[in-house]
Structure 1
Amino acid sequence: MRATVTAHRDYTVAEIDPRLYGSFVEHLGRAVYTGIYEPDHPTADADGFRQDVIDLVKEIDVPITRYPGGNFVSAYNWEDGIGPKEDRPVRLDLAWHTSESNEVGIHEFADWAEKAGTEMMLAVNLGSRGLDEARNFLEYVNHPGGSYWSDLRKANGRDAPWDVKLWCLGNEMDGPWQIGQKTAAEYGRIAFETAKAMRASDKSIELVVCGSSSPKMATYPEWEATVLDYTYDAVDYVSLHMYFDDHDANPQSFLGKSVLLDDYIDTIAAVIKQTKTKKRSSHDVYISFDEWNVWYHSAEQDKAILQGNEGWPFAPPLLEDTYDFADVLQVGSIINSFIRRADVVKIGCLAQLVNVIAPIMTVKGGPAWRQTIFYPYLYGSQYGRGTSLDIRIDSPTFDTDFAKGIKYLDASAVAADDGALTFFFVNRNLSEPIELDVALGGFDQSKIIMDKVIEGFDLKAVNGPDGEPVAPTDGKNATVTNGRLSATLPPASYRMIRIGA
């Protein structure tokens, strides 16, 4: 099977916002407790954070981390997580039917973020609460001093403000599972008024308004049209969420599902453009895809807790998907979609970072390890920063029940900040290699400087605490001759090739 790609120096999409490679830590399952925070762990530092986890997060170079939710935030009182730990209340978390000790709050998470080298992306509760609590939270976090909430922050041990720039106005407010679900009009009004108040407090912040929690929602895309009609000039991003599954147990079909993501992005980009035109606005709104991942492996094992049959356990294992080799290919294609649409998608958060549908897993008291999906996320974050190229792909195709003409070759290309030209390839064909021919128009890069491939594994192969067999190896036989890159992509493979001068 043969496929061609055309890349030209003069044909670009946009500069890639580094925050495209962000992630997410929610008070859910073991993401926080025995995930990032475990005071009794052998690697724990003086503040109780697992150093082995911090090291893996720093390896990825996660630019932003969304916190504290997620569904959790819609019934969360942020004040519960400040002050002496012994005085903090234990609350029932209605979102995930667990209990929350509040041992980790904004101070602790901010300390962890600094250690891990990531910026905070904070969410306010617009489910059970509203404008007043949101502006108080912002004042506590960002105001330098001389006011009630900023002085309380100082009294609690943090003199300088954290100066958090990115704030989410609630979470998935269209969802019937959400505490405080609202209609689009109800949410649009409160989101606008909250945005207005928060900007009056701090003009430097960026605000994210809730879009559809899935393209499967009955209100999609009317939700975005209504919400943006209320909020367009007051916000900077509209939030989208999407998860991918293989409940039909059809691997070929599963590997084509990223085309649904492409349609989702294109549709909401059109709604944004239409709203801008309607309002005759000079303001630009972009997409924050702040929840995305494969999520279905753990569905059955989670039911007892989520249905309340286990009472209100503290930090139980929830949403702990064990990712396999097929998920490597899916995550690689998802990241490719984001790169190719860097003109409209500026922020992305892989959900989540540790233990909960995560690239990093831990054993309580034991090791941390890299799940299979760690690697496409790692390579995107490390080498996918720069300018997205507007490439053309000519490839044989396959059909599914949800889309026709899906290309077996999925790809993206980045003129990277370090001067290299980076290609990310996924061969979706499960049985045949792809003979790849890439035309490099206007580029003088001609030397393969890095070539990594993940291939040859059973689609169900996994990593675990006792070993990480699903891992990249050095690619072979890629060449650049007379402005053309040639390589063979093995069946069912992920490959990153970097070309330097």
Structure 2
Amino acid sequence: MRKATVLMDRDFAIGQTDPRLFGAFVEHLGRCVYGGIYEPGHATADEKGFRRDVLDLVRELGPTIMRYPGGNFVSGYNWEDGVGPVDQRPTRLDLAWFTTEPNTFGTNEFMDWCKAAEVEPMMAVNLGTRGGDAARNLVEYCNHPGGTYWSDLRKQHGWEQPHAVKFWCLGNEMDGPWQMEYKTATQYGMVAKEAAKMMRWIDPTIELAACGSSARNMPTYGRWEDEVLEHTFDHAEFISLHTYLNNYKEDTASFLASPDLMDNFIDEVVAIADGVAARRRSTKRMILSFDEWNVWYRTRRKRQDRVKEGWPIAPPILEEIYTMEDALAFGGACISLLNHADRVKSACLAQLVNVIAPIMTETGGPAWRQTIFHPFAQMSKFGRGKVLRAQVESDSYDSEYYDPRGSQEVSYPVTNVAYLKLSAVADENGGLSLFLLNRDIAQDMEVSIDVRGFGRLAVGEALELRHDDLSAINDKNAPDRVAPTALSGVVVDGGRIRATLKPASWNVIHLTSN
């Protein structure tokens, strides 16, 4: 049996988790919108066409903010196509995913859905085929109270009150050649700065995120952030990051080590942003928005998994089926986000339904939870509060992580990977939540945690997520094959907590204050 020890004190904290850290993402991609959150005629659909079974699962999942409408889709999207009478909206070819977009669902429908789901909207603007003028018009349409062309048009469309959208993304992945009208860092930085300036003139209360690198393996990574922030530093609060963890080599140990590269990514972007601040002699600290993250690799391999010929509407593409193993790597990513709560204040799980998603549906049929649903729901439920600095002493291993870059094979060494990956969050009621990932796939782990600065603690909930078969999945016929179960044997003795974690397991221990 492996052993690990942890030391933490309530007074030594990394930072407070922002509610927006627990966000997700809805894009016009595959069956995320049509057949996912929106399916008029479904047995559970409400009068607006929203699937109530999906809404129930979304509320259980617990996202706090929702990014929309893309993603790659936004770089060719004319937002005006998705407002006004539905029967007058144009049908367009979408070059992001080679599908036909009917525009039945658009900005106002999304705002209504956010209210039904009890989440904050996050809007992205098109800085690919369009620019600052269309962006500032959308802000006026959404946020201005009335008396102008765009705000009065919103009222004519049936939404009297402004949507009051606070968080806006200045484009999407503009460093990527797959993006419509992608740009150099200088070109993008100039467009983003001018768009931000005009958007904020319309509504000075909004918050803005500039595009960082779309992946850590991009050839322009690092230089991109530096140049973009030279233009947008005084106009945006956030710089974005995107990461998708993979297991192309089918190497479990390396796959479970991959969230540590996510830690490195965050630390590097923080350093670059602070370097830009230092050159300016500025005390401003750029905040990070990790507005796309997930496990995703199977449906990235072949074009037929990403594109269906013939320009279909809402085809079943990018429908990653998640395993128990995927849920473990996913849980590690959750811990990485929590442990950077001082600088990562917004994050969006990509995506929400059907497309690389925690929720799956059958069109006309049921909805169910994928394996990754559970770590996210637990992080959102128990991760609100002050993330503590934890000193972890654990056996470790070295690994090699493979990350494809086009047709090239790129590998990264991942060294000193602790078998125990952990985050600890103290809540305002004197309680403590522990998130623990045992990355040893063969051995139990005995964990001893010395907790200081708390009163008397007692076990409120103790849960584990594991399965003897790491390839186990949830599906329509067995929606709870992989689900949390009780973690037995957790002992609290004064300020010391002891638990035994099973091999390859994700565990959550919530302690209440007596």
TM above 0.5: yes
Q: Is the 1:325–1:457 Cα contact (8 Å) retained in structure 2?
A: no
Distance in 2 of aligned mates of 1:424 and 1:305: 34
Listed one character per residue, the Cα deviations across residues 444-477 of structure 1 (whole Å, up to 9, x for unaligned) are 1421011011123311000011122100001101
Distance in 2 of aligned mates of 1:5 and 1:200: 49
SS in 2 for 1:111: helix
Percent identity over the alignment is 50
Q: CA deviation at 1:478?
A: 0.3
Task: Give the equivalent residue in structure 2 for 1:99.
Answer: 100
Distance in 2 of aligned mates of 1:357 and 1:66: 15
Distance in 2 of aligned mates of 1:366 and 1:379: 26
- 1:303 paired with 2:303, answer yes
Task: Give the equivalent residue in structure 2 for 1:278.
Answer: 279
Q: Is the 2:324–2:467 Cα contact (8 Å) retained in structure 1?
A: no
Distance in 2 of aligned mates of 1:420 and 1:103: 46
471-480 vs 273-282, which moves further? 273-282
Matches within 5 A, 1:425-464: 425-464=436-475
Distance in 1 of aligned mates of 2:483 and 2:298: 20
Distance in 2 of aligned mates of 1:261 and 1:325: 20
Q: CA deviation at 1:150?
A: 0.1
- 1:159 paired with 2:160, answer yes
Distance in 2 of aligned mates of 1:125 and 1:456: 43
SS in 2 for 1:488: strand
SS in 1 for 2:264: helix
Task: Give the equivalent residue in structure 2 for 1:491.
Answer: 503
- 1:480 paired with 2:479, answer no
Distance in 2 of aligned mates of 1:429 and 1:306: 33
- 1:400 paired with 2:399, answer yes
Task: Give the equivalent residue in structure 2 for 1:58.
Answer: 59
Q: Is the 2:30–2:318 Cα contact (8 Å) retained in structure 1?
A: yes
Matches within 5 A, 1:44-193: 44-193=45-194
- RMSD, aligned CA: 1.0
1:416 to 423, 427, 430: 427
Q: Is the 2:467–2:482 Cα contact (8 Å) retained in structure 1?
A: no
Distance in 1 of aligned mates of 2:421 and 2:62: 24
Distance in 2 of aligned mates of 1:32 and 1:419: 40
Distance in 1 of aligned mates of 2:18 and 2:248: 33
Per the normalisation by structure 2, the TM-score is 0.96
In the comparison of the two structures, how many residue pairs are matched? 499
- 1:252 paired with 2:253, answer yes
Per the normalisation by structure 1, the TM-score is 0.98
Q: CA deviation at 1:410?
A: 0.4
Q: Is the 1:324–1:460 Cα contact (8 Å) retained in structure 2?
A: yes
Distance in 2 of aligned mates of 1:376 and 1:304: 30
Residue type matched to 2:292 in 1?
E
Distance in 2 of aligned mates of 1:338 and 1:296: 20
Q: Which runs of 5+ in 2 are unaligned?
A: 401-412
Q: Which runs of 5+ in 1 are unaligned?
A: none
Q: Is the 2:93–2:311 Cα contact (8 Å) retained in structure 1?
A: yes
Task: Give the equivalent residue in structure 2 for 1:343.
Answer: 342
Residue type matched to 1:303 in 2?
R
Distance in 2 of aligned mates of 1:314 and 1:462: 28
Residue type matched to 1:120 in 2?
P
SS in 2 for 1:234: coil
SS in 2 for 1:392: strand
* Residues 338 and 481 of structure 1, relative CA distance in 2, 3 Å threshold: same
Listed one character per residue, the Cα deviations across residues 324-350 of structure 1 (whole Å, up to 9, x for unaligned) are 001111111101011111111110100
Distance in 1 of aligned mates of 2:62 and 2:381: 7
SS in 1 for 2:11: coil
Distance in 1 of aligned mates of 2:163 and 2:475: 36
Distance in 1 of aligned mates of 2:429 and 2:369: 26
Q: Is the 2:57–2:359 Cα contact (8 Å) retained in structure 1?
A: yes
